[in-house]
Structure 1
Amino acid sequence: MSPVQLFDTVSVSYTATLPSGEVIESVPENKPITLTIGSGRILKAVEASLMGLEPGESKTVHIQPEDAYGSYYKSLVHEVDRANFADRIDPKPGMILSLTIEREGVTHQVPATVLAAGKETVTLDYNHPLAGRVITYTVKVHAIGN
């Protein structure tokens, strides 16, 4: 059988971890997922790491922030008046909120992590929670084809 190539359908398992060892996502070997290489179902850099592997082979790759969830931008951390939340919600540090913002006349729903919640203000981080982080994936190809 030939190794994994672009547009192949593959059965894979993987574990994604942060440098601390914290597991952030896992697809166990006894329940692999099936995906098509190039479909974007998983990070493109992880898909690319599967290229050339044969069934039964594993690989560990370190995905840099720019190939994962992007760089961390301090400019995406904002302090807002607590009054913006009125009586709808009581923000607490660690909460991830879905907020409505308007940009260039278009309304968007965006996630924001509450970093701090004071009496008068709330500090929100609009970066992805994994932005700026290197993620290590250990991937295994179980099968190639349907």
Structure 2
Amino acid sequence: MRITYRRLSLALLPLLLLGPAVAACGGDDDPPPSPPAAAAEPEPAAAQSDAPAEAEDTGQAGIAADVGSVRNGIEIISLTGDGQGDPAQDGDSVGVRYRGTLDDGSEFDSNAGGALLPVTIGAGRVIPGFDEALRGLRIGETIVVRIPPDLAYGERDESLVIEIPRAQTPPGMTVGQRVQFGGGVPGVITEITDEAVIVDANHELAGQALTFEISIETLE
């Protein structure tokens, strides 16, 4: 259900025009990613007996033993490569190579061929599931994990789809453009009619499980 302008306090704040939406895998302060490709029809949920078993927390070591299970909420799908040095832990500064895909296989973000992503593990600058995937990883290893929505960008909240009268919005708005409410809350314009501008203030990956292929190339 769409929330109208007069019923949502966010809509009482002025809108600021920003640039087009861009991809990012960071935390809530980062701009939202580009809209991902349309997802395929979801497959029926697996029976309870087929779900990965919840693994006991093994701390900073033992990732290999966690493959095929769930560790602290994230599914460890695979671990490859010959690890070197100490396993990464909270407080370490690491340079990360990553690729993110949705359940339909479409890629939503990657830094392949670009600069490494600098992360201080446990500092809260990336989504919680990404932080968890780095713990225990060593240089030379590549881990593939599936992160549920609650450890990624959360579930969608339809109350954050906001309808604002055209008279209350600045000129020059276009569908797909990022905007920011005066209180600092970001959103993306999803529809423009003669009467209103529709802004979705959900993160564009809200409600999505995310699969990441991650490797650490530097560790300090």
Q: If the length of structure 1 is used for normalisation, what is the TM-score?
A: 0.79
1:71 and 2:155 are equivalent in the alignment: yes
Deviations 1:87-116 (A, max 9, x none): x3233322221222xxxxxxx122222221
Q: RCO (CA 8 Å, sep 6+): is it higher in 1 or 2? A: 1
Q: Name the SS of the counterpart of 1:28 in structure 2.
A: coil
| Deviation for aligned residue 1:30 | 6.9
Structural RMSD (CA): 2.1
Distance 1:17 1:112, change over 3 A: same
Percent identity of equivalent pairs: 32
1:82 and 2:157 are equivalent in the alignment: no
Contact persistence 2:142–2:214 (CA under 8 A): yes
Distance 1:119 1:60, change over 3 A: same
Question: How far, CA to CA, are the matches of 1:34 and 1:109 in structure 2?
Answer: 24
1:130 and 2:187 are equivalent in the alignment: no
Q: Name the SS of the counterpart of 2:184 in structure 1.
A: strand
Question: How far, CA to CA, are the matches of 2:174 and 2:138 in structure 1?
Answer: 47
Letter of the 2:153 partner, please give it: Y
The answer for the alignment partner of 2:97 in structure 1 is 13
Q: If the length of structure 2 is used for normalisation, what is the TM-score?
A: 0.55
Question: How far, CA to CA, are the matches of 1:109 and 1:5 in structure 2?
Answer: 32
Aligned length, in residue pairs: 136
Equivalent residues in 2 for 1:1-146 (5 A)?
Answer: 1-28=85-112, 31-85=115-169, 88-100=170-182, 108-145=183-220
Question: How far, CA to CA, are the matches of 1:54 and 1:72 in structure 2?
Answer: 34
Structure 1, gaps ≥5 residues long: 101-107
Distance 1:29 1:4, change over 3 A: farther
Deviating more after overlay: 18-27 vs 36-45: 18-27
Structure 2, gaps ≥5 residues long: 1-84
Question: How far, CA to CA, are the matches of 1:33 and 1:72 in structure 2?
Answer: 26
Question: How far, CA to CA, are the matches of 1:94 and 1:78 in structure 2?
Answer: 14
Question: How far, CA to CA, are the matches of 1:92 and 1:30 in structure 2?
Answer: 29
Contact persistence 1:15–1:27 (CA under 8 A): yes
